[in-house]
């Protein structure tokens, strides 16, 4: 469904062997998901899904969820998969009404609702892209968010991907694909990724020739009927969820424009069909039949500020941030929303460049454009206060950042402020009592959210500062386990277990018992994961790593 809006920026870090295996576990699935999903994967630097040895003759909902979990365990540790609490919460706020509407409209059965993960995650890439994985996982690129102007447009993409999952398109495609074809696709697209990083069209052509392009053409995308069904079902779900009907048509138009402006034509064989005027026309016709097609968009202010944040996080190279800092003089557009978004962009970019004074000045300048409505004003005040606290953290000024957060009213379960508070508490100058208070709140949060990797990571830093090395190591292990890096988690737990037998560990028998039990559990999970990944037998080199 989605097109490519520019070649993704290559990462400087080298991919490890484990990451290459992650790609082999993820790419074929993404290639089944629509024309531009694959193009984005080929041109971007993220490792998106492919199916290796995991393809089976058929997929029950349980099998599909297990397959999705296996893929996510491989790609979650990748740096391109980002967990920004603010942006993550926004995408979730768009996703949840769609899930509810899908159930109410009868598209989401009770079995799928219970068995699938229904989880969204964000890819730090400039590509205009999104994709669905087996088991209800949906990934969204920051580049897609960047080209939108209204939340309804993003919701239309999420609704389309949700429809692919609820209609079991993914399972149907997997069942129809042979393992040998999937492996051929993996090898070819890996070659394309390498070629895109090198900027070489010749390498790309060689990869295609070596991977049997004719076979790839047949496997890349959902069928036209599946795409139309996802459009139709997705449209019904998004409108039932309260989003504007024109959102889907406008998103199609933006993607078509992006493709025409930036597509170099180097990878036409990666599309089974382009984004057609027929699909745009059908989306517009559906919207015209809806009574509220011309209704004013809701949430424009929040969406503009989230796009501003994504624009900075999408590319944190110094030269890119320096360009964005210049927006502290304001936007060329006269509207209050545009002016606020420009100042938010400039302030965050300045903080990333460690230019705290300039960032604070941009935040203060934004106050002139704060909305008059009380609810909108409270939202903007909170978001810009969080931004200033983030700037204090980046500058290493923990006490000042905590003081800013103390002035904010906190809602129960507010993950954003809790994680930021934990980062600030780890800065120099924060007293032990404040750190202990944050740790206590983190422990409560972890009981309710045991797979929150960032919360465990923050706990590890604070436990270390509190002089608790065993608890710090265990928190590090839980952070890696939450990301799917079971080997990393096991290594840390083994290190902690060794320390329990020395004076360094303090000889805490209770902590030693907890670590030993957790080590046994994760070791069992890793064995099960490898068996699912390699049903014909785990290679010796993998078993040892």
Q: Which two tokens stand for residue 340?
A: 């606020």
Query: Of 19-23, 360-364, 464-468, 482-486, where does the model show the most confidence?
Result: 360-364
Per residue in 136-187, pLDDT (tens digit) is 999 998 989 999 999 999 999 999 999 999 988 877 776 655 443 334 433 4
Q: How many structural domains is the chain composed of?
A: 2
Mean per-residue pLDDT, 16-40: 35
Per residue in 478-502, pLDDT (tens digit) is 999 999 889 999 999 999 988 887 7
- Indicate whether 419 pLDDT > 90: yes
- 123 within some domain: yes
- 333 within some domain: yes
Confidence of residue 535 (pLDDT cuts 50, 70, 90): confident
Q: Among candidates 356, 402, 364, which has minimal Cα distance to 381?
A: 364
Query: Of 258-272, 332-346, 391-405, where does the model show the most confidence?
Result: 391-405
Residues in the chain: 545
Residue 21 shares a structural domain with residue 167: yes
Q: Which residue has the higher pLDDT, 252 or 9?
A: 252
Residue 236 shares a structural domain with residue 155: yes
Last residue of a domain, one of 395, 411, 426: 395
Q: Among candidates 525, 528, 523, 454, which has minimal Cα distance to 490?
A: 523
Last residue of a domain, one of 377, 395, 413: 395
Per-residue model confidence (pLDDT) at position 289: 66
- 529 within some domain: no
- 314 within some domain: yes
- Indicate whether 285 pLDDT > 90: no
Residue 278 shares a structural domain with residue 303: no
Return the percentage of the chain with pLDDT > 90, whole number: 48
DSSP, residue by residue, 319-357: HHHHHHHGGGG--SS-SHHHHHHHHHHHHHHHHHTT-HH
Q: Hunting for tokens 């459009």 — which residue is that? A: 231
- 31 within some domain: yes
Last residue of a domain, one of 355, 371, 395: 395
The residue segments making up the domain with residue 351 are 299-395
Contact residues for 131 (Cβ-Cβ < 8 A; gap 6+): 29, 30, 33, 34, 37, 41, 48, 49, 138, 139, 161
Per-residue model confidence (pLDDT) at position 184: 43
Residue 80 shares a structural domain with residue 192: yes
Residue 141 shares a structural domain with residue 106: yes
- Indicate whether 414 pLDDT > 70: yes
Residue 137 shares a structural domain with residue 176: yes
Per-residue model confidence (pLDDT) at position 425: 97
Per-residue model confidence (pLDDT) at position 280: 73
Mean pLDDT of the chain: 78
Q: Which residue has the higher pLDDT, 507 or 404?
A: 404
- Indicate whether 355 pLDDT > 70: yes
- 181 within some domain: yes
Per-residue model confidence (pLDDT) at position 325: 96
Mean per-residue pLDDT, 186-197: 43
Residue 114 shares a structural domain with residue 170: yes
Residue 390 to residue 80: CA distance in whole angstroms = 21
Residue 334 shares a structural domain with residue 242: no
Residue 89 to residue 84: CA distance in whole angstroms = 8
- 448 within some domain: no
Residue 248 shares a structural domain with residue 305: no
Per-residue model confidence (pLDDT) at position 410: 76
Residue 348 shares a structural domain with residue 215: no
Per-residue model confidence (pLDDT) at position 57: 43
Per-residue model confidence (pLDDT) at position 261: 59
Residue 327 shares a structural domain with residue 268: no
Q: Where are the beta strands (DSSP E) in 166-207?
A: none
Contact residues for 440 (Cβ-Cβ < 8 A; gap 6+): none
Per-residue model confidence (pLDDT) at position 512: 86
Q: Which residue has the higher pLDDT, 288 or 151?
A: 151
Per residue in 213-226, pLDDT (tens digit) is 444 444 445 567 78
Residue 429 CB-density burial (10 A; 0-12 exposed, 13-18 middle, 19+ buried): exposed
- Indicate whether 109 pLDDT > 80: yes
Q: Which two tokens stand for residue 440?
A: 């206590």
CB 117: neighbour CB atoms within 10 A? 16
**CA-atom Rg of the chain in angstroms:** 24
- 90 within some domain: yes
């Amino acid at each position: 469904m989605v097109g490519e809006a520019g070649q993704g920026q290559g990462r400087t870090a080298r991919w490890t062997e484990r990451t290459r295996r992650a790609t082999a576990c993820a790419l074929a699935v993404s290639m089944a998901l629509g024309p531009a999903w694959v193009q984005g994967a080929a041109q971007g630097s993220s490792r998106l899904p492919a199916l290796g040895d995991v393809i089976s003759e058929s997929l029950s909902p349980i099998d599909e969820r297990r397959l999705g979990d296996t893929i996510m365990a491989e790609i979650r540790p990748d740096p391109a998969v980002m967990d920004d609490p603010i942006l993550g919460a926004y995408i979730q706020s768009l996703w949840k009404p769609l899930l509810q509407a899908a159930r109410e409209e009868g598209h989401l059965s009770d079995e799928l609702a219970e068995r699938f993960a229904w989880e969204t995650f964000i890819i730090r890439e400039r590509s205009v892209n999104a994709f669905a994985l087996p088991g209800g996982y949906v990934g969204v690129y920051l580049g897609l968010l960047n080209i939108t102007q209204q939340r309804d447009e993003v919701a239309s993409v999420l609704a389309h991907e949700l429809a692919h999952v609820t209609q079991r398109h993914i399972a149907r495609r997997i069942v129809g694909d042979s393992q040998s074809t999937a492996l051929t696709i993996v090898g070819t697209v890996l070659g394309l990724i390498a070629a895109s990083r090198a900027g070489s069209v010749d390498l790309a052509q060689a990869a295609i020739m070596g991977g049997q392009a004719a076979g790839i053409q047949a496997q890349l995308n959902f069928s036209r009927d599946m795409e139309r069904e996802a459009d139709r079902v997705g449209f019904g779900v998004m409108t039932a969820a309260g989003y504007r009907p024109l959102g889907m048509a406008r998103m199609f138009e933006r993607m078509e424009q992006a493709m025409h402006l930036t597509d170099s034509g180097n990878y036409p064989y990666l599309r089974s069909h382009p984004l057609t005027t027929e699909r745009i026309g059908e989306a517009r016709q559906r919207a015209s039949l809806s009574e509220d097609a011309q209704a004013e968009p809701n949430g424009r202010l929040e969406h503009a500020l989230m796009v501003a944040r994504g624009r900075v996080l999408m590319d944190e190279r110094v030269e890119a941030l320096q360009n964005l800092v210049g927006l502290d003089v304001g936007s060329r557009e006269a509207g209050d929303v545009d002016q606020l978004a420009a100042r938010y962009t400039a302030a965050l970019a300045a903080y990333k460049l460690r230019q705290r004074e300039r960032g604070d000045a941009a935040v203060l300048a934004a106050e002139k454009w704060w909305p008059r409505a009380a609810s909108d004003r409270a939202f903007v005040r909170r978001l810009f206060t969080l931004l200033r606290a983030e700037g204090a953290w980046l500058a290493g000024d923990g006490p000042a950042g905590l003081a800013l957060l103390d002035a904010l009213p906190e809602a129960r379960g507010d993950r954003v402020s809790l994680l930021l508070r934990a980062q600030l508490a780890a800065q120099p100058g924060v007293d032990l009592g404040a750190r202990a208070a944050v740790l206590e709140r983190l422990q409560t949060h972890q009981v309710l959210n045991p797979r929150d990797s960032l919360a465990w990571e923050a706990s590890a830093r604070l436990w270390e500062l509190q002089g608790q090395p065993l608890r710090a190591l265990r928190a590090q292990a839980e952070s890696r386990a939450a990301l799917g890096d079971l080997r990393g988690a096991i290594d840390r737990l083994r290190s902690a277990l060794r320390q329990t037998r020395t004076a360094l560990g303090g000889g805490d028998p209770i902590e030693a018992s907890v670590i030993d039990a957790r080590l046994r559990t994760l070791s069992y999970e890793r064995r099960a994961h490898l068996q699912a990944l390699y049903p014909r037998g785990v290679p010796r080199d993998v078993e040892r790593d």
